[in-house]
Amino acid sequence: MAPADAPKRLTIDDIKPPGREVVVVDWPGRDRKVGLLHINCEEEQDSYFAMRSHFRKKDQSVDLFSQEATEAEEMLQQVYRMLIDPAAKVADYRVFSDADQARRRLSMSERAFFCRLHDQLFAGPKGEGED
């Protein structure tokens, strides 16, 4: 049991700004539910920079010739950030411990499914969020 003066662990309900949501969905092909977190602009940017870092570590360039691979990696980075354990309801309690674990365990079709579902569930009015 935690001491009375221990800081309270923040839950998603405590920290989510207006419009930030978590929707619990079925994981296709698995007997499991998963929380789908509405990722924000900062997390999208983090996904982009994590993708660039991933290729830099492998000494591979990010250019027109690697576009398909870079888009797939950025998608993986986004899915890693959006999948959370719905039972914990804690924002930093992701399903995967890191992007490498997500890379090993998620199929390409699962990655695409969760990105499409995220876009369907959290799309605002037409034009919102578009740059």
Per-residue pLDDT of the chain in tens (131 residues, 90 and over written 9):
556 666 666 666 665 555 568 889 999 988 889 999 888 888 888 888 888 888 788 777 667 666 777 788 888 899 998 998 887 655 567 889 899 999 999 999 999 999 999 999 987 655 454 44
Question: Residue 80: exposed, middle, or buried by beta-carbon count in 10 A (0-12, 13-18, 19+)?
Answer: buried
Answer yes or no: is 53 within a domain: yes
Sheet of 22-26: strand order equals 22-26, 33-37, 83-84
For CA atoms 76, 20, 49, 127, the dihedral sign is positive
Q: How many domains is the chain partitioned into structurally?
A: 1
Token pair 């369907």 is at which residue? 120
Is residue 45 domain-resident?
Answer: yes
In a domain? residue 8:
no
pLDDT on residue 130: 46
Give a yes or no: residue 72 inside a domain.
yes
Residue 18 lies in a domain: no
- Give the structural domain span for 47: 29-122
In a domain, 16, yes or no: no
Q: Which of 29, 11, 9, 8 is nearest to 20 (CA)?
A: 11
Residue 44 is predicted with a pLDDT of: 84
Is 95 contained in some domain?
yes
